[in-house]
A and B are shown apart, each in its own frame.
Chain A
Amino acid sequence: MTPLPFTVIGGFLGAGKTTLLNDLLARTRGERIAVLVNDFGSIAIDAALIAGHDGDTIALTNGCICCAVGGEFVAALPPLLTADPPFDRVVVEASGVSDPARIAQYGTLPGFRLDGVIVVVDAAGVIDQFADDRVAPHIEQQLRAAHVVVLTKVDLVDAPRLADVRDAVRSRRADVTMIESGSSDAAADALFDIGGHDPVGGGAPLHHGFDTAAYTAAAPLDRPAFEQHLAAWPAEVVRAKGIVRFAGADEPSTVHVVGSRRRITAGPAVPVEGGGSLVVIGLSGAVAELPPPPGMAFHRPFT
């Protein structure tokens, strides 16, 4: 069975976690997503989307669910693995004062696959928050856990201030992928892998702000060289996925990149042509320049 992708959303109170979740729930196209929140608080699901409300669970007409788990978080996980029809993804909202890295570890349990930790940062408030020694340690903890940082409320700050915010985040996490939520619907698509942006298989086009590239390989790849290449990718790479075959390996491997997180796992046992393929989603302008991993070449289906 394919492990269930597990995404954690962290960020301090008021940073915009809920907005991101609302975007996600409104935009799925066939993906069944289970969203676990602490309480329904500010979750504002479009009434037209709600199929039913049963105690701590809201069922959506698009097949997604939203559960308020509070302290029952751990107990809420096992049933997600046996749901019928199965879920395509679990998204967990970490409370404003919890360590997303800790919650992310639940995504490594059997049946799940930790996809990534997304930390939402309030561009209008974070400079003040870094100056408050009661709050700064929380945000710094969240940034340490982050694979992708989403800057929100960027429209509330001017360009020099935004540059300061980016520097302040960058000085605490040099390698983290940072995106702006100005086009938060597009961000949701990229972060949660919605709509299958797969030029190899012919997926939906991306929204503005993001580009994709696809690579294929004619022959099995050299694994150390491949890993080394991915490790050197710039922070502008938001997501990558693919199934590749390494030289000398009995079965294919799956590649998942979410921001600064790179994961290569064994399987699935499906036929792979040559060395397989890889799709990369990045910030506009970053991906077109990105050279293919050794042994791979750009795949250009439309040219």
Chain B
Amino acid sequence: MAAPFTIFRAREIVTMNPSNPSATHVAVRDGRILGAGPLDELTVWGDHVVDDTFAELVLVPGMIDVHAHVMEGAMWALDYIGYFPRTDPDGVRRGGLRSIDEVVAHLRAVDASMPDPTEPIVCWGLDPIYFPGERLVAAHLDTVSTERPILALHASLHVATVNTAMLRLAGITADTETEGVVRGPDGQPNGELQEAPAMMLTPVLLRLMHLLSDETSYHRLGRIARNAGITTIGDLGGQSMASPAIADTVARVVNDPTFPVRMVQYCVPAFGSAPADDGVVIERFRALQATSTDKLRYGGIKIVADGSIQGYTAVLRWPGYVTGAPNGLWQVPPHRLPEMVAAYHRAGINVHVHCNGDAIVDAFVDAVDLALRDHAWLDHRHTVQHCQLASAAQFRRMANLGMCANLFANHLWFWGDQHFESTVGPERAHRMEAAATALREGVHISLHSDANVTPLGQLHTMWCVMNRVTPSGRVLGPAERIGAYDALHAVTVDAAYQMHLDHDRGSIEVGKLADFTVLGANPLTVEPMAVRDIPVWGTVVGGVPYAAAAGS
């Protein structure tokens, strides 16, 4: 006789299953959903125990962020000093430092707490865009310590500011030849190090690179996902194909039953370079795919085709950047994009392409169009990642071709004002992350954080597309706001859909994995502006509850 199964009782269950939209109980056996409904419809399955842990809480389908990076886990090995508060792996709110004075005061406290006076402080998340007119330089950090080396990594990850002790440790002087060592008016290095070669002069950058493949970074990522209520995370910078050692680490960590989140990896064929032979890539990908489990899947291949809008490296259509900045450059050779898409498409591999600019969206859509003329795999679900500036016409083509879009919703909040004022200008800022247009034209959309670029948390991405409010109080493109149901659908059912997993997750429905996000309130019924403030109790993954860290 089978062991008793569990019936979780909740205040409310939002199933996202259109045939059975809400329930009070969900029954789980062997990690999967036996059914959702009133208690008396579930007891027919036999011997059970009722678990009241969630009796006063709301269950929604386990939230999925298709696009995040292990960098999020790596960064939390460091102290966070960003302008926007952010929750660390232990659930503690960090940062929220609103001026250089606050940054310095915070670092003084960190300095005072460290017994060894030579141990460096390495911190991250400094975003000078929010300190107009002021520039953090070595002199500021020297007021923290003249002995202890300090390195503050900026949010862009392209720049760091160090103190004099770190300049000394790194051997950086007025004679240093490396570009990116910024000089002050006196001709001496002022502490700002721009781009990786200059940062590489310090002993810190290499340590960060190693963290990216370190087991601890995956563990931290798992805890952050759990705290944010995420049950499946897309690792969109998947390194497994680049390195067998990393592949082993990821498989060991994620498949461990105590790891609290499922992962779907989209493998980058070769990092920062012209990808290797397509046949070799397909062969290696298939070998990885054969090792997929419910916990760790190899979902497809990721290609990075351009840069970022706020970095002025996205490839835009006319009229380009409002500042007149030169257009961004392709990150893959233009003729290779259609070749790669066609090869992976023919092999039946789901392809996700990083396209921030609208010109690069055209290129990817063209590539899929050509691939389909050649090989009729209609259910490919190839996905435009970021897709921030797509027009209605582009969404119509995506819909016709069966493509999906994963919108970088968090940009509306974190850089919305900058986009309006100084990257693409007002009209295209109103059109960014055009969720309403995408849905109207029939595109399956999802929403993402691109963590570590913005914090992990799907209530926040939902809040962004529901309200489209910027920090200055602007509403960007009110006509593009979507309702709570559509927003929740995007981070559950359609997020699963674009990874070919909607048969198995994304709704609370018989037969699917028992993955739930446990909330303090129903996101479909609270005020739209309150969605991002809904408390997250934690998650259930495969029927096992994972409580968020209590924090402090």
Q: 0/1 per residue, B172-210, Cβ < 8 Å to A?
A: 000011111000000000000001111011000110011
Question: Are A102 and B195 closer than 8 Å at their CB atoms?
Answer: yes
Question: Are A75 and B206 closer than 8 Å at their CB atoms?
Answer: yes
Q: 0/1 per residue, B400-423, Cβ < 8 Å to A?
A: 000000000000000000000000
Chain A: minimal CB distance from B534 (Å): 38
Q: Is there a chain A Cβ closer than 8 Å to B92's Cβ?
A: no
Question: Are A141 and B178 closer than 8 Å at their CB atoms?
Answer: no
Chain A residues in 8 Å Cβ range of B276 = 38-41
Q: Is there a chain A Cβ closer than 8 Å to B50's Cβ?
A: no
Nearest opposing residue in chain A for B180, CB measure: A105
Chain A residues in 8 Å Cβ range of B93 = none
Give the secondary structure class of B's interface. loop
Question: Are A106 and B333 closer than 8 Å at their CB atoms?
Answer: no
A75-B209, A105-B179, A105-B180 given; A98·B272 CB < 8 A? yes
Interface-forming stretch among A130-138, A151-159, A227-235, A237-245? A130-138
Which residues of B from 327 to 352 have beta carbons under 8 Å from A?
327, 329-336
A102-B197, A106-B197 given; A72·B243 CB < 8 A? yes
Chain A residues in 8 Å Cβ range of B197 = 102, 105-106, 108-109
Interface residues on B, range: 35 or more
Question: Are A74 and B209 closer than 8 Å at their CB atoms?
Answer: yes
| Cross-interface CB contact of A38 among B177, B239, B274, cutoff 8 Å | B274
Q: Is there a chain B Cβ closer than 8 Å to A110's Cβ?
A: yes
Nearest opposing residue in chain B for A55, CB measure: B244
Chain B residues in 8 Å Cβ range of A40 = 276
Q: Is there a chain A Cβ closer than 8 Å to B271's Cβ?
A: yes
Question: Are B332 and A71 closer than 8 Å at their CB atoms?
Answer: no
Can you report 17 A-B residue pairs in the complex whose CB atoms are below 8 A from each other? A39-B273, A39-B275, A40-B276, A41-B274, A55-B244, A70-B271, A73-B272, A74-B200, A74-B209, A75-B210, A97-B329, A105-B195, A106-B197, A108-B176, A110-B201, A114-B177, A138-B329
Chain B: minimal CB distance from A118 (Å): 18
Q: Which 7 A-B pairs have the closest CB atoms?
A: A71-B271, A38-B273, A105-B197, A95-B273, A134-B334, A39-B276, A108-B178
Which residues of A from 45 to 76 have beta carbons under 8 Å from B?
55, 70-75
Chain A residues in 8 Å Cβ range of B334 = 132, 134-135
Nearest opposing residue in chain B for A106, CB measure: B197
Nearest opposing residue in chain B for A12, CB measure: B333
Chain B residues in 8 Å Cβ range of A72 = 209, 242-243, 271
Chain B residues in 8 Å Cβ range of A97 = 274, 329-333
| Cross-interface CB contact of A110 among B171, B268, B335, B336, cutoff 8 Å | B171
Chain B residues in 8 Å Cβ range of A205 = none
Q: Is there a chain B Cβ closer than 8 Å to A86's Cβ?
A: no
Chain B residues in 8 Å Cβ range of A109 = 178, 197, 200-201
Nearest opposing residue in chain B for A137, CB measure: B329
